[in-house]
Structure 1
Amino acid sequence: MRTISFLPKQSQETEKLPMVSDSVILRIEEHIGYVVLNRPESGNIVNQEMAYMFKDVCAKINQNAEIYVVVVTGVGETFCDGSELEKLLINGSMDADYAKTLIDDFSIATSVSSIDKPVIVAINGNAMGQGLELALACDIRYASAGSHFGLLQVSQGLIPMNGGTQRLPRLVGKGQALELILTARIIDTREALRIGLINKRVTKEMLNSEVEAVVKLIATKGPVALKLAKEAISRGLESSLEEGLGLEIDLYSLLQTTDDRREGIQAFLEKRQPKFKGQ
């Protein structure tokens, strides 16, 4: 019987979890949504079924007001070793329109980037190709010490196609991104931490508890404020400073009209923990 990360102690069997499909598992507990890639026999390589189900999971998360923060991780010793799409593009002869359709079908990084709540990825092993692109699309990245990272597509005559050429330079800078993509070099967690690719490097044994600590902390905050803070940062980075400052004021003003804001003030005055409702 396989086990996966972030299961409640009283139930470690994957069959007892609410499943979206065999390849993607979704569990919701204490305002945290856990999304688990579940193809360990293949290194959690993304196939078409996983991609479709992953998109469905992300849509469900956005529709569920009870989820305040999200964790993405994988079953087994590997986070995600890439995508079957890369093999299809290498081995097949197809026109540009069909290739674009396939890329859209497999775009799990695009799906996770559409989540309007904070997303933390627990990288429990190697993240290669589209696996790294998925991690890049998350907001905060924690990795176990033995993990490795690489965008290997140029070695196959391709380029990253699910956000790697855009998100990596925004995260680590143009020079570092060009070096990693053009050389297809694989790096370890020490270098990943040094260049800012990951937020934290922890032992394999401590990965779950470290991620649990940060998501449980985030889940105690105002869910509307969490969403708007993420929006302000994400949209602000795509704007000029002046436009970003204007966006920040607009979102702050919008927050003043919410029940959560009033509850936050009342809780502060009464010296108690706030009871946010996401309204």
Structure 2
Amino acid sequence: MNDNQSANVHYSLNNLENYLKTINESASDIINKYYMLISEYLNFIVENIKFKNLNTNYTKFIIKRGFETITHVFTMLLYLSRNLNIAYYHSQKAFYFYVEFIGQISDDKHTFLQLSSRDASIFVYKKTIFEVNNEIRKNITDLSDNDTLKLDFLNIYVTIIQKITYFILEKDYNYLKQIQPNQFEITNNNLSYDDIHIIDNFINNFNYIKNNISFNKCFELTQSFINKYVKSKNGQGNKTILNESIINKFGDQLIEEKINEPTVIFIKWIFS
């Protein structure tokens, strides 16, 4: 048996041994794996799909649809299998399938954009989610409270990573090429859905900065902001005041200068 055959057996979605009762990894481990997956996907599609015009709405739509497709595969397989390695392995295959399918579509065929990208997603699902063992589908059990919290935390960071990715995509497609899959580690588990609007406000205000910000810089700033925010939240910081401070600081004439300072100093200024 060669390595490919061995991997196919080891990670097979028809192998009942690959389906666990609980998710063994921590919430942070899951997020870090997901971020690595998305980084790999973005790098792969940028390198392998040769669009005639990189910053067209067509290009952006295709990349966004792929992001959503890969994310759906990852979250669904993690829920069904409770096995992070299985979810990651097949999500990697998913973006290969997606890019392979999209690569056969000409960017001149704008009329068929919706249909073609939807077909690509369906093709991916047939190769991944639809392969899940039928016995598992019939007898799926509820998540434990702990696993539910892990997936809730994952969904929060999916939203954050998606917003950053789409922001960079709208600013300059080429900045996606700078993504480094292993650059960040998520260690903060103290966010809730109620906190998303604060983080949204922070990311949305990047639009006020004239100079382009790389994906890595954007993510670094956001992660540092989250860490600082959680500490202030634990100290009963006022969300309304913080939101106003974010808006005021990004509207300040000093923002172009401040954004180039070390991340810690910039975030401290935002909260001052």
TM-score past 0.5 threshold: no
Which of the pair is proportionally richer in helix?
A: 2
**The structure with more radius of gyration:** 2
Say which structure, 1 or 2, has more relative contact order (CA 8 Å, 6+ apart).
2
- Normalised by the length of structure 2, the TM-score is 0.30
